[in-house]
Amino acid sequence: MNALLIGLITAIGSFFAAMLIAPAVVRLAGGRAVQTLLGYVKQHENKAGTPTFGGIIFILSTTIAAAAAGAFSHELGRMLMLVFLGYGLIGFTDDFIKVKLKRNKGLTAWQKILFQVVAGFLAAWFSYRSPFVGSAVSLNFGLGEWDLGVWYLPFATFVFVAMSNAVNLTDGLDALAGGTGGVYVGFFALILAVIAFEAEHMGMSVYADEVNSMFYASMALLGGLLAFLWFNAPKASIFMGDTGSLALGAFFAALALFSKNPLIGAVIGIMYVVSCISVIIQVVSFKLTKKRVFLMSPYHHHLELKGIPESKITARYMIATFVAGLVALCII
């Protein structure tokens, strides 16, 4: 069967699987696990009591649909999904501690970073040793590849930790992380389809199959995210929590690294980069000058406090991600 058709069927299957899973997750999370929100943003007072753990919805649907499409039968697809599930488990642990102890803090910052670094290094080691990835990364713009050698390991580990935390920081408004995530994975799925098509026509059928396995997993995630947004759109019935945001960020990092296109990942994920940088600027500025550059960080909360409606911020972030995706298609 044509790879594109398999991908489309996988996305549709994941969507309907998530639509079936979601009501049960919302019901169970709402009855047993209520997240206590920090009251830093007045506009969020009406969100107190909204259940978390929503990431389970698209994690389960993606795993089921990707497995049905045969993604686990190939090295890259299998590792992509293991990274996704591994970081999802870290996030689930964090969320579980929050709701069990009825507090807004789960794992300590150092505990969370340690788990992320270990998981990221293991994934980096896999890709470094894989004949389908190796230590070289594409420079894009038609400039060929740059072989990082053993330095690929700390670089890739950093990408995993940075991207997972960047998506986590962006998960602050209804549909924000899920909406931008849907755009991100949609564009990357298109890029993977092109890479696989070119590899097939160059006689590299084994590599094409490996890339297609990531394409199927990406389409599965796209379908799952669309269903999740059905319940996460304003006013959200459930939040994805760290369970979802860490899993998403790791999935995005793995797509970029396993396809040897980390720059493309940063371009499409520009709004995640903005979230990260805004937090760094805020912290450094306050430590050095005792003054804050933003009313609040990450940047989307600054915009909220400036009076911009939540739905408009989310829409603009998605538009910016879409435009960044178009730019990525031009430079790959």
* 33 burial type by CB count under 10 A (0-12 exposed, 13-18 middle, 19+ buried): middle
Q: Residue 74's closest CA among 250, 208, 248?
A: 208
Residue 144 phi, psi dihedral angles, 5° rounding: 85, -150
Residue 136 phi, psi dihedral angles, 5° rounding: -95, 145
Query: Is the peptide bond preceding residue 235 cis, with omega within 30 degrees of 0?
Result: yes
CB atoms under 10 Å from CB of 146, counted, come to 12
The DSSP code sequence of 198-241 is HHHHTT-HHHHHHHHHHHHHHHHHHHHHHHHHHHHSSSPS---H
Q: How far apart are CA 27 and CA 29, in angstroms?
A: 6
Is the C-alpha dihedral spanning 100, 106, 107, 108 positive or negative?
negative
Give the number of C-alpha atoms closer than 13 A to the C-alpha of residue 244, restricted to the C-beta side. Answer: 32
Annotated binding-site residue? 242: yes
SS3 130: coil
Is residue 49 within 8 Å of residue 80, measured between CB atoms? no
SS3 40: coil
The CA-atom distances, in angstroms, between 242 and each of 2, 49, 145 are 35, 16, 34
Residue 172 in tokens: 């602050």
Is residue 188 within 8 Å of residue 255, measured between CB atoms? yes
Is residue 112 within 8 Å of residue 94, measured between CB atoms? yes
Binding residues for Mg(2+): 168, 242
- Residues comprising the binding site? 168, 242
